[in-house]
Structure formats: structure tokens, C-alpha cells
A = this chain, B = another copy of it.
């Protein structure tokens, strides 16, 4: 096991009806900005529950955060924050709304000239407005972690700061019942691949981390498809297990003390930034190719993944690994995902564009051992054809 430091202070309120805890979580005197996306929360009752919880607070609202939250949109919130002396943000939505709120929170207290420097120059964020979250889409884990991804002019780029970790997060699985199949699929596969990025590296005898990761993967494999089937899609227990898995997938715990990869994400980001493809769908295309191209470096863990997650016991080691990759692809397809570039109408001729993006973003040594150089990334994209 590698040395590590771990902390996660976010208070979690999990279960049906827990949106009411917002009332006591946000300090009485706070001036709150409620931040949300396209308005779906007005149709599924979440907005009304939030309004009810805030009935004794002074609050304002800012809507229109899009998927892959855009810098220009986020900067529009700053005027509202100054105008009303906002001192608490309540993000009501999925990962994009939470990520966007984190950037808004950091930009509001940023001392430099241009908040975009937070991302391009990775300027240290020393302070940010406090954030609470009412999560509506389990997927990114952003509700309890320190990361955020913001998009500007086709560049999708991350920043991290402990200052933007939410103070609290409400996880009510009942609010996920109104999600579309595509949203729930994206969430399940996004969470699955977050786990894989922290698990499928090389063995450092992190037995607890491995088993927690395997437990989450198995839970998503069992519960994900049920959330799409007519007979089980309204089962609150299915939604609860998906929601808790997605939070645990990226709250820092399973990645503490083990190597991490993240090459699938970095390559996937270019597919979203360039072509606007849903984040999870890019990951479902890239991960199988990473498993194939990086097979030797990841051999020990691939075999463990085959045996413990997919319960494959027959055949040679290589056959077991082949079978595990096939079952991973089949799982993604069951979840309605593309698994090759042509599935999203991309061809070999698009690879040069993606490579140029990777290079311009400095993504020249990715992966758990920085071995995913540009030529290896090209191999991965070619494998995905």
C-alpha cells in the first residue's frame, strides 16, 4: 500500500425525504444562491422541496448550467453574487451543476486578475464560498470531492481544491426516478469507470481498496441494468444502491493508498470537448481500448478483475482477461453505451484532431506510470475504431 493522507468532511444526508435537511444545514443568516440547470427540477418536485426547505432563508437563484458547464455561463453568476451579497451556494442538480457551482464559488473569492487562471495556470484556490448540494443525478461523485471540470471554447479542463469540497450533500434516491434512461446509463457507466481508473493499475497489496472497488463494481453491474428495465426501474432500492455507489466511487476513499490511472478520462475529455459526446459515452468507448492496449502493464489487476468482479474461473489467464474485457463491453452495451468510435460516427480521420487536442492540453504522459505517451494514446484511439 502507498502512503496516503485522506479526509472527506462532507456531511451526507441519504434517503427519501432528506432534502428537508437543507433547512438546518445552511446557516440561518446566510444569503443563498440556488444554482441549477435546465429546469427539470421544476417538473420532478425537487425545486419545490428546496424552496420549502429554504422558506426561512434569504435566497436567490441562477439557472441554465449546461452539461459540461461552460465558463461563460458560470461567470454570469458573479454579478448576482455581488449584487445580493451571496455567501452560500446551493447546487441542485447533477455533476455539471455541482462542478459549475465549485467554479462559481472559487471565482467569487479569487484574488487574481482572471478566474480562468484557476484552470489554465492551475492557480491555487485559497478560498471559496461554501457549497451545499442536492444531488439529482448520481454519477460524478462531485458532491463530496474536491474536483471540478469546466469547459471553454471546446477545452474541457479540470481543477481541484479542498476549498470547493461541499459542506453537505443530500442524496435522495427518489429524485432519480424521473431521470431518463440515457441519464441513468451515463451515471452508472461514469461511476463504473471512476472506480476502474483507481482499481485497474498495478498491484500494491491495497486489499481493502481493491475489495471496496470490486464491491462497488459488482453493485453497479447488478443494479445498473435494473434501472433500465420496466419491471424494476421504479425500485427505490435499485436507485439507492446506484446513488451510494456513485458517491463512494469518487470520494477519495478507494483511491487512497493505491496508484491511479485516469488516462481514459483524459482521452475521453477530448471526445467531449471536440464533438460534444456525453462524458460517460466517451469513457465507454475509450476504456475497452485502454484495457487492450495496456493489457501487459495491467495484467495482474485485469486477472483479479476477471476473477473477482466477473467470477471468471475457467480458461488460461489470457482467456480470462479476454472474457473480462468482453463482459465489460457487453455491460456497457446493456447500459445503452457506444463502445467504439464508429458507434458515435467517428472514423480514423478524426484521430489526428483528437491527438492535436491531447498534445495542446499537455496530456503527453498519462496513466498510473505516465507510460501513456502520445503514441500510446494514438494506439488506444486506433484500437477503439
Segment touching B, from A3-11, A40-48, A316-324: A3-11
Whether the Cβ atoms of A215 and B208 lie closer than 8 Å is yes
Cα–Cα distance between A1 and B208 once the two chains are bound (Å): 22
From A4, A17, A223, name the one whose CB has the most chain B CB atoms within 10 angstroms: A4
Segment touching B, from A86-94, A237-245, A364-372: A237-245
14 pairs, A vs B, C-beta closer than 8 Å:
A4-B12, A4-B15, A5-B12, A5-B13, A5-B14, A5-B21, A7-B9, A7-B10, A8-B8, A207-B222, A208-B219, A208-B244, A208-B245, A211-B214
Query: Which residues of A1-39 are within 8 A (CB) of B?
Result: 1-18, 21
Closest to A219 in B: B207
Cα–Cα distance between A16 and B208 once the two chains are bound (Å): 18
Q: Does A256 contact B (CB under 8 A)?
A: yes
Contact among B11, B218, B245 with A7 in the assembled complex (CB-CB below 8 Å) = B11
Q: Mark A203-241, 1 if CB is under 8 A from B, else 0.
A: 001111001101110110011000000000000010011
Cα–Cα distance between A14 and B13 once the two chains are bound (Å): 27
Closest to A15 in B: B3
Cα–Cα distance between A245 and B215 once the two chains are bound (Å): 15
Cα–Cα distance between A314 and B301 once the two chains are bound (Å): 29
Whether the Cβ atoms of B216 and A215 lie closer than 8 Å is no
Whether the Cβ atoms of A3 and B7 lie closer than 8 Å is no
CB-defined contacts of A154 to chain B, threshold 8 Å: none
CB-defined contacts of A257 to chain B, threshold 8 Å: 14-15, 244
CB-defined contacts of A17 to chain B, threshold 8 Å: 3
Whether the Cβ atoms of B14 and A256 lie closer than 8 Å is yes
Whether the Cβ atoms of B7 and A207 lie closer than 8 Å is no
Q: Does A248 contact B (CB under 8 A)?
A: yes
User: How extensive is the interface on chain A, given as a class?
Assistant: 35 or more
From A5, A17, A218, name the one whose CB has the most chain B CB atoms within 10 angstroms: A5
Name A's B-contacting residues (CB within 8 A): 1-18, 21, 205-208, 211-212, 214-216, 218-219, 222-223, 237, 240-241, 244-245, 248, 256-257
From A6, A15, A256, name the one whose CB has the most chain B CB atoms within 10 angstroms: A6
7 more A-B residue pairs beyond the given contacts A211-B212, A212-B212, with a C-beta to C-beta distance below 8 A: A1-B14, A6-B12, A12-B256, A14-B257, A207-B219, A207-B245, A208-B219
Cα–Cα distance between A9 and B7 once the two chains are bound (Å): 7
CB distance from A138 to the nearest CB of B (A): 12
Number of copies of this kind of chain in the complex: 2
CB-defined contacts of A219 to chain B, threshold 8 Å: 207-208, 211
Contact flag A205-B14 (CB < 8 Å), given A9-B7, A211-B219, A215-B212: no
Cα–Cα distance between A15 and B21 once the two chains are bound (Å): 37
CB distance from A187 to the nearest CB of B (A): 15
CB distance from A328 to the nearest CB of B (A): 19
Whether the Cβ atoms of B1 and A6 lie closer than 8 Å is no
Closest to A217 in B: B211
CB-defined contacts of A2 to chain B, threshold 8 Å: 15
CB-defined contacts of A14 to chain B, threshold 8 Å: 1, 3-6, 256-257
Cα–Cα distance between A223 and B1 once the two chains are bound (Å): 14
Cα–Cα distance between A21 and B6 once the two chains are bound (Å): 13
The 9 closest A-B pairs by CB, nearest first: A211-B215, A3-B15, A7-B11, A205-B237, A1-B240, A6-B12, A9-B9, A207-B219, A207-B241
CB-defined contacts of A244 to chain B, threshold 8 Å: 1, 208, 257
CB-defined contacts of A1 to chain B, threshold 8 Å: 14-15, 237, 240-241, 244
CB distance from A360 to the nearest CB of B (A): 37
